[in-house]
Amino acid sequence: MAGARGRGRGRGVISWYELLNISRDAAERYRAYEQADPIACPNDGEPLREGPDGQGLYCPFDGWRPNGRRVGDGLTST
C-alpha cells in the first residue's frame, strides 16, 4: 500500500495544456467532420451513393441528400 503512494503521480490527471490540446484537437476534428461529405444517411444509416443525376451523393433508401435536397429535386425545380 505504502509503496503505491507517490508513484504514478499525475497519472489520470490531465494538465491544463493537455486539456487545451484535446479541445483544440476536437474542434479541428469537428471542423473536418463538418466539411467532409457524410458517408451515411442520418435517417436510416444507409451508405450514401452517387446519385443517378450526377448531383452528388444520396441515400438510395429514402433519397436523402447531404445538401438537404432529394433525388430528382434538380430535375423538377424551375
DSSP 3-state of 49: strand
Q: How far is the CB of 66 from Zn ion (least distance, A)?
A: 11
CA angle, residues 28, 45, 49, in degrees to nearest 5: 85
Nearer to Zn ion, 18 or 53 (CB): 53
Nearer to Zn ion, 8 or 68 (CB): 68
Q: How far is the CB of 42 from Zn ion (least distance, A)?
A: 8
Q: Which residues pair with 50 in a beta bridge?
A: 57
Residue numbers at the binding site for Zn ion (CB under 5 A): 41, 43-44, 46, 59, 61-62, 64
